[in-house]
């Protein structure tokens, strides 16, 4: 399986076309979605790194990846796409995003839920993770990006 085929964070659920400043699918900012194909590698890498940082922050608060090799093998066996150089917590997100409804034993994938989440159903947890990831992306946009856009519009 080639992980190099993932060239964009896009997951095919773009909400920026409906006016969202942060995409509910991939969590990129509207201008990043629009200009992605014109970005150089450094710009793309910066976006990927921000998304990874925010997602890992959310995931580490809810799960523990105790066996990254097992997780990787399971993803490859099930042909679930993931970015190999990213954190294993991003890999775990891909697993939950694709398999939350069918996974019975999470530990078989090298993952365990943290104690405060052990009673949660995986689809419910997946949705909570996605919401928190979106909220963090929105907060980042509001704090660091929106003020610059406002200044650009005034100048």
The full set of domain ranges for the chain reads 48-154
User: Rounded to whole angstroms, how far apart are CA atoms 62 and 56?
Assistant: 10
Q: What is the mean pLDDT of residues 25-36?
A: 94
For 10, phi then psi, to 5°, come to -55, 135
Contact between 108 and 90 under an 8 Å Cβ cutoff? The reply is: no
CB 55 within 8 A of CB 94: no
Give the integer Cα–Cα distance in Å for 123 and 133. Answer: 15
Share of the chain above pLDDT 70, in %: 92
Q: Is residue 149 over pLDDT 70?
A: no
Q: Hey, what are 44's tokens? A: 């793309």
Mean pLDDT of the chain: 91
- pTM score: 0.89
Which residue bears the tokens 């921000």?
A: 50
Per-residue pLDDT tens for 83-132?
999 999 999 999 999 999 999 999 999 999 999 999 999 999 999 999 99
Kind and range of the H or E element at 111? strand 111-113
Q: Which residues contact 25 (CB under 8 A, 6 or more apart)?
A: 10, 11, 12, 13, 14, 15
The string of pLDDT tens digits covering residues 65-78 is: 999 999 999 999 99
């Amino acid at each position: 399986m080639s992980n190099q085929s993932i060239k964009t964070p896009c997951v095919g659920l773009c909400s920026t076309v409906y006016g969202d400043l942060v995409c509910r699918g991939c969590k990129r900012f509207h201008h990043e979605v629009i200009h992605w194909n014109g970005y150089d590698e450094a710009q793309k890498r910066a976006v990927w790194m921000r998304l990874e940082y925010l997602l890992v922050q959310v995931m580490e608060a809810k799960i523990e990846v105790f066996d990254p090799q097992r997780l990787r093998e399971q993803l490859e066996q099930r042909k679930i796409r993931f970015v190999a150089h990213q954190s294993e917590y991003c890999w775990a997100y891909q697993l939950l995003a694709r398999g939350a409804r069918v996974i019975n034993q999470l530990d078989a994938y090298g993952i365990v839920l943290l104690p405060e989440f052990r009673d949660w159903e995986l689809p419910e947890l997946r949705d909570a993770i996605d919401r928190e990831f979106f909220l963090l992306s929105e907060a980042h946009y509001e704090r660091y990006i929106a003020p610059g856009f406002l200044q650009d519009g005034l100048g």
